[in-house]
Structure 1
Amino acid sequence: MSADGRPHLDKAKLKKQFDISHFDLNAIIRGIQLTLVGAQRALQNPEIFTSQHYKQAAIAVAAGIVIRMLIAFPIIGIKVLLWFLSFFLSLDRVTWDDKLVNGLTFIEEHVLQAPLFFMSLMRYVTPTLDDLFMSSLRWVDQTYVQKHKNDADPSRLRAMYYPQLQLYRATDGRTHSSSTAESVTLFLYRFARKGALSLAVFALSYVPYVGRLVLPAASFWTFNRAVGLGPASVIFGTGVLLPRRYLVIFLQSYFASRSLMRELLEPYFARIKFTAEEKRKWFRSREGLLFGFGIGFYVLLRVPLLGVLIYGIAEASTAYLITKVSDPPPPPSESQGFAASQTEWRNKQKFLSLSLGNLDALHDKPPPYSELDPHPAAAQQ
């Protein structure tokens, strides 16, 4: 309150609410570009074409077929039931049966995100994805050295990522536990909770009178936390006018791309130990770029049958991404304070200003960090 008793407008707080610097359009576009550049770099890695990876690719395609069958099984069951009922009911004169099948397909594909669930579950069944990430990280280092071998001042080149990161013991990136059972349990719990929430919101959108506002309100709440009050208000206003189907696809695509990025980055966070708050800040400072990268691969993952294979390419591409949004890790014995120093994206503006054909031009050495100064990167900005 001001001295005369009137409400005081906190301009700094209001400015913060409308700040979208962490989710600006330039960062999103650069993230989409990295989808293509990262995939191209990953496919240049000769280790991907070894007999072992051919076998894994064949398994991935087979898994894609199985996943599609698992997703389609309930729909097939409903169709068989409707076919059986057609002997007793005249279904050719009604449309509710077609609406039921189409509705169930929509819920599985877009509301529950079943394809993404099955593909993400593979991480806990086989170490293939972790191996792809580390193999690709080694290839990114080798490519970097090759491209800069003729630099006049080699001392300016960055340190390598793979030699240090492979020294860290891999655990669950969320609990830092090495228990596979615990990791799978938490993974199933997270997806079950998200699925239940998505179904609840989708069901409430059919409530008479107020249902029309449920999805726009959910969109506002979600994007207000991510991009601020201003953009969230625009999304709310647009959502009121959009048909329910397109609003669900838009909202769930955003959620799915976030979930996808967290799964793709798991090999990194499984080794570098971040606290929950440090990880939240890490994601927020890079949110626009990660959204662009995630939504790019999310679209590609929806290619029938080849989705699991593309998921592997996405994991390999994430190795290239991590070299653009984080500093090379130190040896494990010197890692105290490193995670805290990474919460701010130190070279964000420099990286976003590079041309698409010159993304490897930025190779500044990171400033020193210490336990007494846990956020030296922020001080450099």
Structure 2
Amino acid sequence: MSNFEPNAVIRGFQLTVVGTVRALRNPELFKYNHFRQAALAVAAGVAIHLVIQIPIIAIKFLIWVSSWVIDLDHATWDDTILNGLDFLSHQVLQVPFLLMTLMRYVTPTLDEIFMQSLHWVDTTYVQKHKSEDPNTLRAMYYPNLVMYSTKDVEGVSKPIPQAVMLFIRRYGRKVGMLLGVYLLSLLPIVGRFVMPAATFYTFKKSVGTTPAAVIFGTGLVLPHRFLVTFLHSYFASRSLMRELLEPYFCRVKFTPEQKRRWFLDRQGVLFGFAFGFTIVLKAPFIGVLMYGVAEASTAYLITKITDPPPPPAESKGFAETQVTWKNKHDFLQLSLDNLDKLNALTDSENDTKETPVTPGKKFS
């Protein structure tokens, strides 16, 4: 459990709170078109939600009509169907959230929010430590990262339709898997073991065999709906975190293997950070509007779990140096009100240190 220890998850959730507070202090944040687009996503989501509700309402109406001729007081199949429809509507088909995520592939607004927020993090960092020796401060993130190309390794950006289809394919695969597990859990006799077994398989790689076995045993006595919600929230948190980190990974190029190890070494903190936002983003209407705040908070997270990037011309091999989180153990032991304590430059940062950003400089 070295990468998924409770302390790391708790620290990730704390970074959600601190990152949100600092992001909301940025006067430039709410000037972006994101919130207008989020409002449109809410409207589109409501319309699609109503369309989805039509067959659900029709099925509920048929069950109600059948209750006139069939005694359903002692039957359970009708409750199972109704609970399944509610689960499908509220837990699996998060339509407004899906639309907001798709916005990333259509407009650069979320990427701009991330970069502008990164500039704000650098600026507030300099202001907070203005009384200290500048030579002891960390290097800046924004000045170098803004110079990185957002094109892929081959130098050609993916066309928007291709990027959207890849995202929908990933989303559909996860939704289909979760829905399939849920349907299998409704089977008689073996159904009660399906969800605990799926949870055990999912968490074995993350937390180890023994903790996963404890989760499996707990799942046998917990209500079925609790496990469904927990498993869905876990997958949703992982997906959300990958989407929020896209502005960083589209600039700092990692191979698939390097990215896998990068996530593995930070999975506890990343889960805690994303889980907090996953709960908030599920709130009707307000949740979609908070997506931009989540992206802005991710800029603060990046400064805690990565090193400042060098100039693009000197970036060869930089990705490999970031696979391992160097100051992880020291950072996890810091108190909540002292998260900026680790500000001394490392040897590698001394070679790439940039002049601190000027407070008040605008993002362009």
Same fold (TM over 0.5): yes
Secondary structure, counterpart of 2:290 in structure 1: helix
Is the Cα–Cα contact under 8 Å of residues 327 and 366 in structure 1 kept in the other structure? Answer: no
The residue type paired with residue 34 of structure 2 is Q
Q: Is the 8 A contact 1:26 1:352 kept in 2?
A: yes
What is the match of residue 137 of structure 1?
118
Residue 118 (structure 1) aligned with residue 99 (structure 2)? yes
For normalisation by structure 1, the TM-score amounts to 0.84
Which of 58, 64, 71 is the matching residue for 2:49?
71
Secondary structure of 1:132 counterpart: helix
Give me the identity figure in percent. 54
Partner residue, 2:289: 309
2:295 and 2:204 mapped to 1: Cα distance?
A: 29
Displacement of 1:93 in angstroms is 6.6
Q: Given that residues 114 and 296 in structure 2 are in contact (C-alpha distance below 8 angstroms), is that contact kept between their aligned partners in structure 1?
A: yes
What is the alpha-carbon distance in structure 1 between the residues aligned to residue 140 and residue 69 of structure 2?
65
Contact 2:152 2:253 in 1 (8 A): no
Of 90-99 and 307-316, deviating more is: 90-99
Aligned residue number for residue 161 of structure 2? 181
- Is the contact between residue 164 and residue 330 of structure 1 (CA under 8 Å) also seen in structure 2? yes
Tell me how far apart the structure 1 counterparts of residues 153 and 46 of structure 2 sit (CA, whole Å): 28
1:28 aligns with 2:9: yes
1:61 touches 1:306 (CA, 8 Å); kept in 2?
A: no
> Which residue does the alignment assign to 1:269?
249
Q: 2:303 maps to which residue?
A: 323
Asked if the contact 1:108/1:114 (under 8 Å) is kept, the reply is no
**Distance in 1 (alpha carbons) for counterparts of 2:69 and 2:83:** 15
Change (3 A) 1:173 1:79: farther
One-letter amino acid of the structure 2 residue matched with residue 40 of structure 1: V
The number of equivalent residue pairs is: 346
Is 1:198 aligned with 2:178? yes
Give the secondary structure class of the aligned counterpart of 1:79: helix
Shift in alpha-carbon separation, 1:35–1:132, aligned structure 2, 3 A: same
SS of 1:46's equivalent in the other structure is coil
Instruction: Work out whether 1:215 is the aligned partner of 2:195.
Output: yes
Residues 136-170 of structure 1: CA deviation (Å, up to 9, x unaligned): 0000011111111110x211211111111111111
CA deviations over 1:22-76 (Å, ceiling 9, x no partner): 11111111111111110111111111243xx2x5323313322322332342223
1:85, CA displacement in angstroms? 8.8
Q: CA RMSD in A?
A: 2.5
2-structure distance, mates of 1:265, 1:74: 31
Q: In structure 2, which of residues 138, 144, 147 is the aligned counterpart of residue 164 of structure 1? A: 144
For 1:263, the aligned partner's letter is E
Q: How far apart are the structure 1 equivalents of 2:47 and 2:95?
A: 11
Residue 196 of structure 1 and its aligned partner are, at CA, apart by 1.6
Q: Distance in 1 between the 2:52 and 2:176 partners?
A: 18
Name the structure 2 match of 1:146: 127
Counterparts of 1:330-341 in structure 2 under 5 Å? Answer: 330-341=310-321
CA distance in 1, matches of 2:55, 2:154: 37
Q: Is 1:344 the counterpart of 2:286 in the alignment?
A: no
Map of 2:266 onto structure 1: 286
Q: 1:193 Cα shift? A: 1.2
* Change in 2 beyond 3 A, CA 1:308/1:240: same
The answer to which of 63-72 and 161-170 deviates more is: 63-72
**Which whole-Å CA distance do the structure 1 matches of 2:35 and 2:126 have between them?**
28
Structure 1 residues 302 and 175, CA gap change in structure 2 (3 angstroms)? farther
Cα offset, 1:113, TM superposition: 4.7
Measured after TM superposition, the shift of residue 302 of structure 1 is 1.4
Contact in 1 for aligned 2:38/2:100 (Cα 8 Å): no
Q: Deviations over 1:80-138 (max 9, x none)?
A: 56558978983897576675444212123224554543332121122111111011000
- Structure 2 residue 41 is matched with structure 1 residue 60: no
**Structure 1 partner of 2:20:** 39
Q: Distance in 1 between matches of 2:284 and 2:70?
A: 30
Query: What stretches of structure 2 of length at least 5 have no aligned partner?
Result: 350-364
**Does residue 1:300 correspond to 2:280, yes or no?**
yes
Letter of the aligned partner of 2:105 in structure 1?
Y
**CA pair 120-137 structure 1, distance change in 2 beyond 3 A:** same
